[in-house]
Amino acid sequence: MSASESTTPLVSQGTGSGIPPGSRVVIVGLGLIGGSLAAALREAGVGGSDGSVIVASDPDGEEIRRGQDMGLIDAGSTSLAGVIDAATLVVLAVPVMAMRSVMVELKALLHRADARVVITDVGSTKAAVRDTAVEVFGEMPSRLVLGHPIAGSEKSGVRASMASLYHNHKVILTPCENTAPEAQGLVEGLWRAAGAEVLIMDVERHDQVLARTSHLPHLLAFSLVDTLARQDERLDIFRYAAGGFRDFTRIAGSDPVMWRDVFQANQGAVLEALDDFEAGLSRLRQAVTQGDGDAMLGIFDRASHARHYFDSLLNQTSYQAEYQMQETAKLRYRVAPGGGVTGRIRVPGDKSISHRSIMLGALSEGVTEVSGFLEGEDSLATLQAFREMGVTIEGPHQGRVVIHGVGMHGLKKPAGPLYVGNAGTAMRLFSGLLAGQAFDTELTGDASLTRRPMGRVADPLRQMGAVIDTAEGGRPPLKIKGGQALKGIRYDMPMASAQVKSCLLLAGLFAEGETRVREPAPTRDHTERMLTGFGYSVGRDGDTCWLRGGGSLTAGPIDVPSDISSATFFLVAAAITPGSDLVLEHVGVNPTRIGVINILQAMGADLRLQNSREVGGEPVADLHIRYAPLKGIDIPVDQVPLAIDEFPALFIAAANAEGITRLRGADELRVKESDRLQAMADGMTTLGIDNTLYDDGIDIVGRGEGDGGVGPSGSPSYSPSYSPSYSPSYSPSYSPSYGGGRIDSREDHRIAMAFTIAGLRASAPIEVDDCANVATSFPTFLDLARRVGLSLEEERQEGA
Ligand code: S3P
């Protein structure tokens, strides 16, 4: 197997969490690695009242004395023979090249150890240690469990030992076929006691992975620094060394003897990695030689985003939370009750249009310049996926993205699965686009997306001739077989879904003949408008749209308007808060998206469109909203698809209206990023808002004007743990509509934002759990919310 193939190492979940009482742990070699292990075991209580002891051998008597003075070991000796008696666990903490002589000595002494003695090592390459063991012992001992802690420090010697060296670091164990399970269990327990995470891999895989992640980078650093240090102007080079070169000199400052050993021990895997690197280097050399800026940008763009992308993929998190916080974290919002809503703001770019701008730009001939691009995780996932397929994309920088289109047939096979995080739109639109490619692909997403139905796109695509595998129940991942000849179909959509319609139109671009889609109710038409903008002819007659495959797209500029779905949170915030007066600038008001405007106006909101204009084929306006009392309504069924993403916020408007608001025909809400009907019903119940849930809708009993609301004490069961500085900001005349409480947002961005704005009319604080995904669609939500007058904080959720 090549090291670039994706195989997931097993994270060991074993129960062993330490060293059994009465054990005798023998550490052979008391440097930084062995000393830190002893320190960590001490901290975990080994060698105390449980009758266990930690002993060590090291040829350097000074190190042993220091280890004893530091309290790391109970006893020590300069010879292995001096400590081996009755050993339970022997840890060979010596360099790989010293392993042979230690094993020879150990073999001769093993009769003096406990018969059940378990041996492990810490060598940084594993095949060499295994081969040495086989040579010395005649076969691989079943109680020798090979291991490699991925931790270290620039310092060395026992003096530098740290109990925390292994905390939250990975230790890779590479058991062999005959390794005894209880021996492996003991070694897992050892490392877990030291605070490490234990992973299991096979020996060859370990060496390949380490060759690429550690050995090759060191080799390059040694070589680069040595090469530059030999040149005539070397003094200047080192005098002005900054940034990049400094980092190389830091890596090249590592222990030369140790690294010589590593390259001797892991020769084969290192040479393989070096071959790959040389091939990459010659591609880059060629780009530089030819002055091929596109090729250079392609390589640099992919490289500069690789870490964020792969970290997100590994943690199955969305994209930017990882990037901003450098680790997976859960976020909670704490919203103080009350606050105002005034000012002029511009919310970020439209998510639907941002996704499509990248997709169509990538498939077109020429360069597409996008402004107003949403730098949220969902659209960034789409952008990164195209980079993975060889498209050069500059940015985003403050909403500006430049896409160097590769034409209809220019995408390249990605090296692995395409990860789209939380983005349902990306997965569904991609499935159509990828079904028409010459290569195979796999689409994966985060936990929420992995629960969402994909049969709605896979089934009609199969009718077009696509070959697509889904997981059970039509869920992701989607495995799409390339090289299929697609045929246009006529498809009557069973549900009103712009994603399904867009998916089929994108597949239709690659299909023979005409692809026609009929929708049961109007859904957003950005795909049709944008295709037309890219010079592709799309027909429309009533409820049906169509196109013929085989054409091409021509690049052009795209100005993405602000997202009406993000604006909605502030529209509702203003609509429910007495005294509010807010302008939302440059909002997209495409007729297929303005359900929220129609519904709020029907409820009595004082909401006006100003400065209406058309920008790049999409209608845009400034939205001016002032407080006016709302009343409950029966939401017209024809407005449901036009406001499909806006219902979480609209439910909060309903909770503040006078009388009952009834919604039906909205069963699609059950299969969004969460079951939004259930999530909102549960959250509203927590706040004391009466509601009745139906399969396809909900009734919400408003507590707005006329009902007197609930008093500031209206949340009897909830006593939040707030600091005094976080007291309610409402005045005595403030009239809350419901109480406060802790809300489970179900990691759904729109649920999180809806309950945040609910705080404007709550009698007590609202805490909203799991808000990190707000960054999928609205990364600047908190800043803007504070700017208009909400009082809220974000904090890391404990236990995350
Ligand atoms: C979207 C369509 C809608 C919407 C989603 C974005 C799109 O989904 O909920 O947030 O960009 O096409 P459905 O078409 O599945 O209703």
Amino acid in the structure at residue 412: K
Between the CA of 705 and the centroid of ligand 1 the distance, in Å, is: 34
pLDDT given at position 731: 61
The atom of ligand 1 lying closest to the CA of 644 is 9
Kindly list the distances between the CA atom of residue 564 and the CA atoms of 328, 351, 509, 602, 781, in Å, as whole numbers in the listed order. 29, 10, 28, 18, 13
- Least confident segment among 249-253, 364-368, 533-537: 249-253
> What atom of ligand 1 comes closest to residue 641's alpha carbon?
16
Distance of alpha carbon 341 from alpha carbon 360, whole angstroms: 38
Question: Which run of H or of E encompasses 477?
Answer: strand 475-481
Question: Given this model, what pLDDT does residue 729 score?
Answer: 52
Instruction: Please say if the pLDDT value at position 704 is more than 70.
Output: yes
pLDDT at 249 over 90: no
CA–centroid distance, 426 to ligand 1, in Å, is 10
d(CA 63, CA 69): 10
Residue 511: Cβ-neighbour burial (10 angstroms; 0-12, 13-18, 19+): buried
Q: What share of the chain is helix, strand, coil (3-state, %, to 5)?
A: 40, 20, 40
Q: In this structure, how many other beta carbons lie within 10 angstroms of the beta carbon of residue 566?
A: 28
**Ligand 1 mutation pick, 350, 352, 590, max ligand atoms within 8 A of CB:** 352
Choice from 431, 452, 499 to test ligand 1 binding pocket (greatest atom count within 8 A of CB): 499
Q: How confident is the model at residue 689 (pLDDT cuts 50, 70, 90)?
A: very high
| Span from the CA of 448 to the centroid of ligand 1 (angstroms) | 15
- Tens digit of pLDDT for each residue in 82-108? 999 999 999 999 988 899 999 999 999
pLDDT averaged over the chain?
90
At a CB cut-off of 8 Å and minimum separation 6, what does 684 contact? 651, 655, 691, 700, 738
Q: Is the pLDDT of residue 486 over 90?
A: yes
Q: Which is more confident, 360 or 46?
A: 360
Q: Is 551 helix (H, G, I), strand (E, B) or coil?
A: coil
d(CA 71, CA 8): 39
Task: List pLDDT tens digits, range 655-686.
Answer: 999 999 999 999 999 999 999 999 999 999 99
Q: Which atom of ligand 1 is nearest to the CA of 527?
A: 12
Q: What DSSP letter does each residue of 322-355 carry, written as one string?
A: HHHHSS---EEEEE-S----EEEE-PPBPHHHHH
**Ligand 1 atom index nearest CA of 456:** 15
What is the number of the ligand 1 atom nearest to the C-alpha of 672?
9
235 has pLDDT over 80: no
Q: Which residue puts its alpha carbon closest to atom 9 of ligand 1?
A: 645
pLDDT at 458 over 90: yes
Question: Quick one: which atom of ligand 1 is closest to the CA of 355?
Answer: 11
- The residue to mutate among 351, 357, 454, 497, having the most atoms of ligand 1 within 8 angstroms of its beta carbon, is 497
Residue 305's pLDDT band, with cuts at 50, 70 and 90, is confident
Q: How far is the CA of 660 from the centre of ligand 1 (A)?
A: 27
Distance 301 CA to ligand 1 centre (A): 29
Q: What is the mean pLDDT of residues 197-222?
A: 94
Q: What is the whole-number distance in angstroms between the Cα of residue 333 and the centre of ligand 1?
A: 26
Q: Work out the burial of residue 300: count CB atoms within 10 Å of its CB; fewer than 13 is exposed, 13-18 middle, 19 or more buried.
A: middle
Mean pLDDT of 571-592: 98
- Pocket probe for ligand 1: among 379, 500, 645, 673, the residue whose CB has the most ligand atoms within 8 Å is 645
Residue 726 has pLDDT above 60, yes or no: no
- Give the contacts of 329 (CB within 8 A, at least 6 positions apart): 321, 772, 796, 797, 800
Residue type at 666 in one-letter notation: A
> Tokens 């007590």 label which residue?
764
Four-residue CA torsion sign, 445, 451, 454, 455: positive
Residue 113, pLDDT score:
80
Residue nearest atom 4 of ligand 1, based on CA coordinates? 645
pLDDT band at residue 12 using 50, 70 and 90 as cut-offs: low
pLDDT of residue 317: 64
Residue nearest to atom 5 of ligand 1 (CA): 425
Q: Cis (ω within 30 of 0) for the bond into 477?
A: yes
Taking the CA of residue 496 as reference, the ligand 1 atom at the shortest distance is: 16
Whether the CB-CB separation of 17 and 189 falls below 8 Å is answered with yes
List all residues whose CB is within 6 A of at least one atom of ligand 1. 352, 425, 497-499, 502, 523-524, 644-645, 668
Phi then psi for residue 71, to 5 deg, are 80, 15
Q: State in Å: Cα 386 to ligand 1 middle.
A: 20
Distance 424 CA to ligand 1 centre (A): 8
Q: Quick one: DSSP state of residue 126?
A: S
pLDDT at 797: 83
Give the Å distances, CA to CA, from 761 to 56, 211, 568. 66, 58, 17
Note the pLDDT of residue 6: 39
The answer to whether residues 457 and 499 touch, using CB atoms and an 8 Å cutoff, is: yes
More confident residue, 760 or 321: 760
Q: What stretches of 482-634 adopt beta strand conformation (E)?
A: 490-492, 514-518, 539-541, 544-548, 558-559, 581-588, 606-615, 618-626
Dist. CA 516 → ligand 1 center (Å):
19
Contact between 330 and 800 (Cβ < 8 Å): yes
Q: What pLDDT does 709 receive?
A: 45
Whole-model pTM? 0.74
What one-character-per-residue DSSP string does 396-459 give? EETTEEEEE---TT-----SSPEE-TT-HHHHHHHHHHHHTSSS-EEEE--HHHHTS--HHHHH
**Ligand 1 centroid to residue 497 C-alpha, Å:** 6
In this predicted structure, what is the pLDDT of residue 535? 97
| Cα Rg of the chain (Å, integer) | 31
Asked if residue 95 has a cis previous peptide bond (ω within 30° of 0), the answer is no
437-440 long-range contacts, Cβ below 8 Å, gap at least 24?
A: 437/411, 437/480, 437/482, 437/510, 438/409, 438/482, 438/483, 439/411, 439/412, 439/413, 439/482, 439/483, 440/413, 440/479, 440/480, 440/481, 440/482
The residue among 456, 542, 468, 462 whose CA lies nearest residue 501 is 456
The token duo for 602 is 């029907």
- Residue identifier of the C-alpha nearest atom 10 of ligand 1: 645
Cα of 447 vs its chain's centroid, Å: 10
Q: Which pLDDT does position 303 carry in this prediction?
A: 85
Measure 644 CA to ligand 1 centroid, in angstroms. 8
- Rounded Cα distance, 323 and 319, in Å: 7
Q: Which residues are catalytic?
A: 645
| Confidence band for 714, pLDDT divided at 50, 70 and 90 | very low
Nearest ligand 1 atom to alpha carbon 523: 14
Read off the pLDDT of each residue in 8-20 and give the average, rounded to a whole number.
56
Residue 200: phi and psi, rounded to 5, are -115, 130
CA angle 389, 433, 485 (to 5 degrees): 105
Whose C-alpha lies nearest to ligand 1, atom 11?
Answer: 352
Cross-strand pairs, 622: 610
- Taking the CB of residue 230, how many other CB atoms lie within 10 A of it? 8
> Ligand 1 atom 16: the closest Cα is on which residue?
497
How does pLDDT run across 104-144, given as a tens digit for each residue? 999 999 988 878 899 999 999 999 999 999 999 999 999 99
Q: What confidence score (pLDDT) does residue 594 get?
A: 98
> β-strands 606-615, 618-626: how paired?
antiparallel
Per cent of the chain over pLDDT 70 is 91
Rounded mean pLDDT of 65-70?
Answer: 96
Compute the distance from residue 638 Cα to the ligand 1 centre, in Å.
16
What is the mean predicted confidence (pLDDT) over 21-37? 94
Kindly give the pairing relationship between strand 342-345 and strand 53-57: unpaired
Query: b/e per residue, 641-670, with b = 16+ CB within 10 A?
Result: bbbbbbbbbbbbbbbbbbbbbebebbebbe
Contacts of 12 (CB under 8 A, 6+ apart): 173, 188, 198, 199, 200
Rounded to an integer, the average pLDDT of 539-564 is: 97
Quickly list DSSP for 201-243: --HHHHHHHHIIIIIHHHHHHHHHHHHHHTSTTHHHHHHT--H
**Summary count for the chain: helices (H), strands (E):** 27, 33
Ligand 1 atom nearest to 498, measured from its CA: 14
CA–centroid distance, 71 to ligand 1, in Å, is 63
Angstrom distance (rounded) from CA 157 to CA 34: 9
Taking 60 as the threshold, does the pLDDT of residue 562 lie above it?
yes
Model pLDDT for residues 768-779, shown as the tens digit of each residue: 999 999 999 999
Number of the ligand 1 atom closest to the C-alpha atom of 356? 11
Pocket test for ligand 1, best of 360, 519, 644 (most atoms within 8 A of CB): 644
Best of 357, 360, 425, 645 for a ligand 1 pocket test (most atoms within 8 Å of beta carbon): 425
Determine which residue's CA is closest to atom 15 belonging to ligand 1. Answer: 497
Who has greater pLDDT, 311 or 40?
Answer: 40
Question: According to the model, what pLDDT value does residue 297 have?
Answer: 86
Among 481, 389, 486, residue whose Cα is nearest residue 440 = 481
Q: Are 755 and 792 in contact (CB under 8 A)?
A: no
